[in-house]
Amino acid sequence: MIKNFLILSVITLFFISCTNSNKNINNKYRVSTLSFFSNNHYDDLNNAVIELSNQLLLNIKSSNQKNNKFTVTTFVNLNDFQSTSSFGRVISETLINELHTRNFKVIDFRTQDSLSVDNNGEFILTRDTNKLKDEIPQSLLLAGTYSKINENQIVLNARIVDNFTSEVISTAKVIYTYENCEDMNICFDKNKKPNYSSIPIKEDN
């Protein structure tokens, strides 16, 4: 009788410990059919980005998600952090949508101070640093890389980082299988290094 009681007590303490160890996990996360618990290989880019978003939400503390704004940056070639492609830009654009639908407060720093209007249309987004705001509001940064690992496979790694402390807040990884590298300019010998400028991030007073 005493032996059975001791065994039951140990099991109870074990489950309590497991529960406490996971108290910082975002309890709003729901495992989808596109979950890394079952598979993190995808041949559809949209599904791959959905899974990246799911993992970023799962791995972040609820308090960090609720109390911070997030800036999504362009995914870059792992072998050259100043090199990207249409592929990297599409991932970042899609992540803005997926994170926003998961209640992340997302900032798009590419908005101009005023609308640009010409015969082609009306524009608010720009990469012209002369038209951007002088500073970006304080936020956590989402950065990502892509790297070829097989003939037709790329590993995508994403992380949310505190820009001032360099602390990694959350991470995610998926593997994407593609058919034609030219579809999104991910033929790795064709990447070109662009000109770039830096924009300061405003410190929180």
Tokens matching residue 72? 């999504």
Cβ–Cβ under 8 Å, residues 158 and 172: yes
Contacts of 110 (CB under 8 A, 6+ apart): 125, 126, 127, 132
Residue 64 inside a domain? The answer is yes
Give the pLDDT confidence of 74-129 residue by residue, as tens digits: 999 998 888 888 899 999 999 999 999 988 899 888 888 778 888 888 877 878 87
Give the pLDDT confidence of 16-28 residue by residue, as tens digits: 444 444 444 455 4
Residue 199 inside a domain? The answer is no
Instruction: Tell me how many degrees the CA angle 35-37-40 measures, rounded to the nearest 5.
Output: 60
Domain count, the chain: 1
Residue 65 inside a domain? The answer is yes
CATH number of the CATH domain containing 60: 3.40.50.10610
Residue 7 inside a domain? The answer is no
Q: pTM for the whole thing?
A: 0.69
d(CA 3, CA 22): 29
Give the pLDDT confidence of 184-205 residue by residue, as tens digits: 667 765 444 445 556 666 666 5
Residue 6 inside a domain? The answer is no
Residue 55: which domain range? 41-108+134-190
Residue 1 inside a domain? The answer is no
Residue 173 inside a domain? The answer is yes
d(CA 57, CA 145): 18
- Among 95, 99, 196, which Cα is nearest to 146's? 95
Residue 15 inside a domain? The answer is no
d(CA 192, CA 54): 31
